[in-house]
Amino acid sequence: MLRRIMRELVVAIAQLDRVLEANVEKAIQYIVEAANKGAGVVCLPEYFSTGFGYKDPAKMREELGKQAEPIPGPTIQRLQQACKAGHVGVVGSIVEAVQGKFYNTAFAISPNGELTNTYRKVHLFQVESQIVQRGSGWGAFEMGFGKAGIMLCYDAIFPEAARALALAGAQVIFHPAAWMDPFLPQWRIATNARALENQAWVISVNRVGKDELFTYFGRSGVVDPYGNEVLECGDKEGLVVLKIDLDKVKGFRSFLNFLGDRRPGAYTL
């Protein structure tokens, strides 16, 4: 009897608190650790290097302005060097500065250190929308193991975000987040639903700790294409490494093809 050879990806979840002076260095340490553990890609939280929770919008703008940078800029370049040295990819988001405007911009860096994708967040949270500009859409990209996509934090509440990525070919959807109390039940519902609806892996990485506005519960996790949660982290900083079977996507879609069974013409209002 022939044994099926699993087409696997080793993913690393880096759950971080916000320490402005140290987070880039801490992220690089996690990238090195993940590479040493055989990871193919590391996912960092949303706004991993800055956070964004300030009570005063003027202070938020001032502080984010100090930390914002172009892409590629110093932070991305340091991450690119770490990725190339460890031959490991990384996904996360930072505050991007563009002609005096700010964006919450996700990035993907390949194991050879190439910046392969950027995505400016479309669905902005209430506090965030006072400072940050909206992006305009999603796209899948090649990440060595196949096509992937990124949605950011609040995007997961909107089914259209993950669906757009799946229709573009994404089999793995990375979800850097800064999701806060008391919304842990909604976090689980949203991430599980987005995985099942699109028959894709969803890798969600949340921050931990507190800022002036919120307490962040962590609970980063991995959901398989069947909507089953196969990993949930705790509420502390740390790195977790997990193997996932990429062929689960093809296997489930070949049995029940949710994307193919859609009837877009019936959804028009």
Q: Which residues are catalytic?
A: 46, 121, 153
How large is the C-alpha radius of gyration of the chain?
18
CA distance 161 to 154: 10
Residues in CB range of 101: below 8 A, 6 or more apart: 133
- Coil, helix or strand at residue 2: coil
Count of all residues that appear for the chain in the document: 269
Question: What are the backbone angles phi and psi of residue 185, rounded to the nearest 5°?
Answer: -60, -40
CA distance 41 to 83: 9
Q: Which is nearest to 138 in space by CA: 106, 115, 114?
A: 106
CA dihedral 164, 190, 50, 137 (to 10 degrees): 10
